[in-house]
Every structure is written in structure tokens, then in C-alpha cells.
């Protein structure tokens, strides 16, 4: 019996093959897809590099459709037209995460890569600014500090009034609206350092600036504050509004005024208006 056992060990012919331990590479693609569905988009993209199963699963339409806004088809038609019918949902998500311009390039919309939430920005050229055509008061200046590559610069004026509006199919949720402003004139970097000329900043510490917004769903918000911190871009919170019906476009009107004519004010850069999901408000403090 011992000899027989010894022969079996030394001659493996006919012996059963040793079973290797299962690994992630053996996971069925359908199971990998179910796992990816619980992750956010950046994590999905990381796991797609792990092996073939996760790479194939990362293209599943049902995963990316759950990450897209509920009314993404309406948003696609608004900013990209009707040319994406044959694209997979991952490609649609990727396209919407890029800055997409509309209204002659004066507005840009994109999805937050991590959450799929809609963000929107209106350039200074997309706003109605009193006196903008008179170069004694306002100028458009080129700068790398704006996503639109230019800002409106106020030299000096008695009556400050900026109005704007946008109509967009926002998904249901709560949104916050901000003005992005800077006291001081931005200029090109010198020796790698940012330069901001604050010589002509004046008048903003006498009376506050008033911000307002109205929506087609009946929401109204207002705030007022003094403009401070020369040489630094700040996000001034106008207020919040709620979108309840994602199947209809929400129209938003907004304004920024300082119309006390007892003094002049100047040295202000107006970059843009931003509309972000309200849960992103803390992010703007670190920009």
C-alpha cells in the first residue's frame, strides 16, 4: 500500500489537476456591473482598469443611465442637438461632463464628474450691463482667470446695474446662485506671479451691493453685502431656489445693483454668474 502511494506521488499521470483559487478576474461581467452600479463615476473608471471583467462591465448602459440626470435627454437636446442617439450612456455622460456652450457661447453647462449634478455659468457678455457700450465706464478685458477668457471691468460709474436671465431644464433639486467678482483689475502673470491692480478700487465700502433672483416657479431671493478683499475672486451668494418639475424649463432672472448716486464706485471685475447645486456651496469657499 505504501509503495502504491509512493508511485502515485512520483507519477502524476492520470492524477486530477490542482484547483487554483478564484480571483477577481474570474468574476462574471454581469456581477462586476452590479458592483459598479453602487460606485460613483470616478471609482467606476478606476475599477475599469483592474481587469477585463470590470473593463467590459464599465460600459454597461444601465450603470451610466443611473448616474445621468433624470431629464438628461432634454438637456442633451438643449446643448448638443440630436446627434447622440447612437452613443452609449457612458459616452453621453462624458460629453455632458465637458463644458458645453449655448446661447452664442455666453452660457456654459456641465455635469459634475462625481455626482452627475448640473452646473451652469453665464459670462459677463451674457448679462445686460448698464453703460457697457461706453468705454468711459466699462471694458471687456482678456484674462486666463475666467472660463470665458474675458471679464467686464468697471473703471468708474455712478449707477451700477447688471441684469440677466437664463432658461434651462434643470433637474429637480435645490440650487444656489452666485456672482463671481473681484475688486481690482486682473492682468497677465509676470514671472509666474499673478498681478492684480487695485489702484482704482473705490466706493464699495460706502453702501452695500444688492443681489436678487426670481424664478418662473415663483421663488424669490435677495441679499446685500459690501464688496471686500481687493485682489481676490469672490463668490457672492445671491440666494437659493428649488426646481420641482424637471420636465419643464426653469426661467431665472437675476440682478446686481448699487444705484446710490451720492458717490462713484469703480475698479470692479465682473466675471460671471454661477448656478450650482446647493450642496456645492462649501466647494466655492476653496476656489
Read off the pLDDT of residues 118-173 as tens digits, 9 standing for 90 and up.
Answer: 999 999 999 999 999 999 999 999 998 999 999 999 999 999 999 999 999 999 99
Residue range 264-284: mean pLDDT, rounded: 93
Q: What is 118-285's CATH number? A: 2.60.120.260
262 grid coordinates: 451720492
Residues 77, 86: Cα–Cα separation, whole Å: 14
Residues 169, 231: Cα–Cα separation, whole Å: 35
The per-residue pLDDT for range 6-38, each reduced to its tens digit, is 333 444 555 555 455 655 555 666 787 787 888
Residue 6: per-residue pLDDT? 39
Residue range 223-236: mean pLDDT, rounded: 95
The per-residue pLDDT for range 81-131, each reduced to its tens digit, is 876 777 899 999 999 999 999 999 999 999 999 999 999 999 999 999 999
Residue 50: per-residue pLDDT? 80
The pairing of strands 233-243 and 173-183 is: antiparallel
% pLDDT > 90, the chain: 67
Residues 199, 24: Cα–Cα separation, whole Å: 63
Q: 53 with 28: CB under 8 angstroms?
A: yes
Q: Name the band, by pLDDT with cuts 50, 70 and 90, for residue 46.
A: confident
Residue 126: per-residue pLDDT? 97
pLDDT higher than 90, residue 188: no
Whole-structure pTM value: 0.86
Q: Where in the chain are the domains?
A: 29-65, 118-285
Residue 241: per-residue pLDDT? 97
Q: Where are the alpha helices (DSSP H) in the chain?
A: 2-10, 29-36, 41-47, 52-57, 61-67, 72-79, 89-97, 281-284
Residue 32: per-residue pLDDT? 75
Average pLDDT over all residues of the chain: 88
Amino acid at each position: 500500500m505504501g509503495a502504491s502511494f509512493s508511485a502515485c506521488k512520483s507519477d502524476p499521470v492520470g492524477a486530477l489537476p490542482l484547483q487554483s483559487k478564484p480571483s477577481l478576474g474570474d468574476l462574471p461581467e454581469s456581477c462586476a456591473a452590479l458592483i459598479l452600479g453602487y460606485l460613483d463615476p470616478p471609482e467606476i473608471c478606476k475599477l475599469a482598469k483592474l481587469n477585463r471583467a470590470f473593463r467590459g462591465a464599465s460600459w454597461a448602459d444601465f450603470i451610466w443611465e443611473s448616474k445621468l440626470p433624470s431629464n438628461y435627454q432634454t438637456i442633451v437636446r438643449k446643448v448638443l442637438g440630436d446627434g447622440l442617439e447612437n452613443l452609449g450612456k457612458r459616452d453621453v455622460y462624458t460629453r455632458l461632463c465637458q463644458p458645453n456652450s449655448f446661447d452664442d457661447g455666453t452660457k456654459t453647462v456641465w455635469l459634475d464628474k462625481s455626482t452627475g449634478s448640473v452646473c451652469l455659468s453665464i459670462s459677463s457678455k451674457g448679462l445686460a450691463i448698464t453703460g457697457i457700450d461706453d468705454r468711459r465706464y466699462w471694458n471687456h478685458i482678456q484674462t486666463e482667470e475666467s472660463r470665458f477668457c474675458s471679464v467686464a471691468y468697471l473703471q468708474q460709474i455712478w449707477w451700477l446695474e447688471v441684469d440677466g436671465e437664463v432658461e434651462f431644464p434643470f433637474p429637480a433639486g435645490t440650487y444656489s446662485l452666485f456672482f463671481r467678482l473681484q475688486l481690482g483689475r486682473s492682468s497677465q502673470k509676470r514671472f509666474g506671479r499673478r498681478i492684480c491692480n487695485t489702484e482704482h478700487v473705490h466706493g464699495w465700502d460706502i453702501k452695500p451691493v444688492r443681489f436678487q433672483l426670481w424664478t418662473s416657479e415663483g421663488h424669490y431671493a435677495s441679499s446685500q453685502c459690501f464688496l471686500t478683499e481687493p485682489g481676490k475672486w469672490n463668490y457672492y451668494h445671491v440666494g437659493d431656489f428649488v426646481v420641482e418639475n424637471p420636465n419643464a424649463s426653469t426661467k431665472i432672472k437675476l440682478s446686481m445693483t448699487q444705484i446710490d448716486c451720492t458717490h462713484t464706485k469703480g475698479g470692479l471685475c465682473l466675471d460671471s454668474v454661477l448656478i450650482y447645486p446647493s450642496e456645492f456651496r462649501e466647494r466655492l469657499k476653496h476656489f
